[in-house]
Chains A and B, each alone.
Chain A
Amino acid sequence: MIHNHLDILLIAIVTAVACALPGVFLVLRRMTLMSDAISHAILPGIVLAFFLTESLSSPLLILAAAGTGVLTVLFVELLQRTKLVKEDAAIGLTFPALFSIGVILISRFAGNVHLDMDAVLLGELAIAPLNRLKAFGYDLGPVALYVMGTILVLNLIFIFVFYKELKLATFDASLAAALGFTPTLIHYGLMTLVSVTTVGAFDAVGSILVVALIAGPPATAYLMTDKLSRMLILSAIIGSVNAVSGYWFASLFDVSIAGAIATMTLLVFGVIFLVVPNRGLIAIARRHARQKWEFAQTMLVIHLFNHEGLPEAETESAIADLHEHLSWDPTFTTQVVRYALHNRCVSQDEAQLILTEQGRAIAQQALVQ
């Protein structure tokens, strides 16, 4: 039983990392929807290959499904190129068409075999370790681990070898073409990889949740770094964290493992989205709040500066009447005055506000700009 737990966990981690790596480039190319399309459209490929081989773990299955995946990308792009259909609509038209062919094939011909819709849509990580690789009487571990492990290694090799090309073609496809790097080739190489990965992951987590594995960790990592190589590493780490915590969550509450992993993916994204320094929601809200007070303070010192040393200065800088001169809410005015006093931009002389050197400097600088 402990063996089983470890097997499931390993499969989950390897699958998550294998999905996250090509996912980085999909997110940067704004193509995550394409992974959704691929993950659904591979169904007819899987079904047809299943009819031919009568096995769910045949390598032919993966090849046939990956072929359908690349075909999906091709269809979408051909539709798009007619300029009569936009990309999102082209995706929306293509994958349900292919998916429904798969659904019809299953319902018509595969009623009694082990290929049911639930498994297709949701996958079943819990039973993945049951199918084991055996040789010479030894149990070498679950087949799924070998399949996903191989796919992970393929992804690593592809991204490592063509890192420079992937980066250039993703950032600036026209320069890539001008320099002779055939971005179309790189594009379809990446799409083949995504298809193969999706087919492999589909066994474990099903065709819907695989999108969470592909899009979630890269989208999270994107918020955390400004460097592509670091985004790849972070995506892999976040994918693993999601897999482990999702598995733990599923064991704790006895729920679907795939569902729990996807939930964790969104949860982790949500947390990072809120708390990441500089570009997280909280940091942005704080910055806005600070800017609001800074700006009010600047308005105040400019007001004082403009009337400084003039006959009307006494009335214009009377703390009690400030809100009337500036047409501000009295409470807000009091807060701004307190903020400016705290920052030593102004000082209080009985009922008057007086600019300090610092306050005068701020006003002068603001007026120069």
Chain B
Amino acid sequence: METAGSKAIEVTDLTVAYQDKPVLWDIDLNVPPGVLLSIVGPNGAGKTTLIKAILGLVRPAAGSVLIYNKPYEAQRQIVGYVPQRGSVDWDFPTNVLDVVMMGRYGALGWVRRPGRQERELALQALEKVGMAVYATRQISQLSGGQQQRVFLARALVQDATVYLMDEPFQGVDATTERAIVTLLQELRANGKTVVVVHHDLQTVSDYFDWVMLLNIRRIASGPVDEVFTPDNLRETYGGRVAFMKTGK
């Protein structure tokens, strides 16, 4: 599957619109396997929509998305998704382990219940994100950073090849942010492809090796060293970025 030249994610001429208001204009994006890519752009640039379009959660007006040369529907099992933390109700009556096990639901398919094996995998994933001691904790009692780690564990338990994460650093403390970055880099080291919607331009070149600059249309995408330039940033943010350190 991971032959040289194959593409983990291939977005071609993707346009997404709400009524006649375009949210994404004719996006092309090729993500090779084994890169850690961040999508950056101003608010309303369509970052979340792009992730959702790749996952088939919003219907494109034009264009296509391929995951390892096949449409998403055929590749659900190898794609892990981390939605925004605020997208769910954390007062839902369930505990940490249960939420993490949800990551196995796709592999289980309809009707089949999670069992001992799923429990084991979920506990291992919690171990990886440093949340094993919280396994039986009610989810409403978690801090923001802990919630984010639970969501990450839920994606890890899928044992996917491609990960799509929507703002995993939002509202987490510095310790959690470092822990998440280490985890992402571990995933990449294991040959996974990780796409992260990111907000903090300061950390792009430290955390990621690829970047996509997005503002409704694609400004640029590629290795950070090549495309994370002041010119591209100015084009993306419309001259609102005054002081930026770029490159390493």
Contacts and interface: CB of A to CB of B under 8 A. Distances in A.
Interface of A: 28, 161-165, 167-168, 170-172, 174-175, 177-181, 222, 225-228, 230-231
B241 interface: no
**A-B pairs, 4 with minimum CB distance:** A179-B106, A226-B138, A178-B81, A178-B55
B89 interface: yes
B242 interface: no
Contacts of B92: 28, 170-171, 228
B217 interface: no
Given A165-B110, A226-B95, A171 B55 contact: no
B117 to A, nearest CB: 15
A164 B111 CA distance: 7
B83 A228 contact: no
A171 B106 contact: no
A179 B76 contact: yes
B87 interface: yes
B65 to A, nearest CB: 13
A175 B113 contact: no
B114 A222 contact: no
Nearest to B102: A168
A172 B93 contact: no
10 contacts: A28-B89, A164-B112, A165-B111, A168-B102, A172-B88, A178-B55, A178-B56, A178-B79, A226-B140, A227-B94
Interface string B71-109: 001001001010100011100111100010010011010
Contacts of A168: 102, 105
Most buried by B among A164, A165, A170, A228: A164
B4 interface: no
Interface residues of B, number: 29
B83 A171 contact: no
B1 interface: no
B133 interface: no
A162 B92 CA distance: 18
Given A226-B94, A227-B95, A180 B87 contact: no
Contacts of B81: 174-175, 178
A165 B109 CA distance: 9
Contacts of B52: 174
B244 interface: no
A310 to B, nearest CB: 37
A52 B107 CA distance: 48
Contacts of B174: none
A167 B94 contact: yes
A196 B107 CA distance: 32
Interface string B175-191: 00000000000000000
Nearest to B141: A226
B111 to A, nearest CB: 6
Nearest to B155: A175
Contacts of B105: 164-165, 168, 179, 181
Contacts of A231: 93
A228 B55 CA distance: 28
Contacts of B57: 174, 177-178
Contacts of B113: 163-164
B236 to A, nearest CB: 26
B138 A164 contact: no
Interface in B8-63: 52, 55-57
A228 B111 contact: no
Contacts of A178: 55-57, 76, 79, 81, 106
B82 to A, nearest CB: 9
A170 B105 CA distance: 14
A156 B114 CA distance: 19
Contact of A164 (B83, B95, B108): B108
A171 B73 contact: no
A203 B195 CA distance: 55
Contacts of B138: 226
A171 B76 contact: no
A174 B52 CA distance: 9
Given A163-B113, A165-B105, A171-B99, 15 more contacts: A28-B93, A161-B111, A164-B111, A164-B112, A167-B102, A170-B92, A174-B52, A174-B87, A179-B76, A179-B106, A181-B105, A222-B93, A226-B140, A228-B93, A228-B94
A180 B76 contact: yes
Contacts of B79: 178
A233 to B, nearest CB: 12
A227 B108 CA distance: 21
Nearest to B54: A178
Given A172-B88, A178-B55, A162 B111 contact: yes
B89 A171 contact: yes
